[in-house]
Amino acid sequence: GAGVSQSPSNKVTEKGKDVELRCDPISGHTALYWYRQSLGQGLEFLIYFQGNSAPDKSGLPSDRFSAERTGGSVSTLTIQRTQQEDSAVYLCASSLGGRSNEQFFGPGTRLTVL
């Protein structure tokens, strides 16, 4: 079956511009996660959606970052007024829900802020 998909695969933007990154989770997965992988920082958690519950935004690095999940499926991560330190690979994962379930990752979006 289809895995987690993300778009675009690569995004180059200028400092100060807004960007939107998209994640399509595996069908039927109620939990969705965003992570960021950058040089020198490794992989870090950003935000977590579980069903209709309020998202856990504890990993978002600043108020320029926000995410939505519409209809319990597709999610969009928005970064406003991008900075060069936002350059990273943004990874999305989904799972069946519940805290013990295996997470499956998408291929990521490589964001470069010039």
Partner 1 sequence: KQEVTQIPAALSVPEGENLVLNCSFTDSAIYNLQWFRQDPGKGLTSLLLIQSSQREQTSGRLNASLDKSSGRSTLYIAASQPGDSATYLCAVRNKLVFGAGTILRVKS
Using CB under 8 A, list all residues that contact partner 1: 31, 33, 35, 42-45, 48, 56, 58-59, 91, 93, 99-100, 102-108
Helix (H) or strand (E) holding 104: strand 104-105
Whichever of 2 and 14 has its CB closer to partner 1, that residue is 2
Whichever of 16 and 51 has its CB closer to partner 1, that residue is 51
Whichever of 16 and 61 has its CB closer to partner 1, that residue is 61
Q: 50 by DSSP, 3-state: which?
A: strand
Pairing state of beta strands 109-113 and 10-13?
A: parallel
Of 97, 100, 111, 96, which is closest to residue 35 (Cα–Cα)?
111
CB of 53 to partner 1, least distance (A): 13
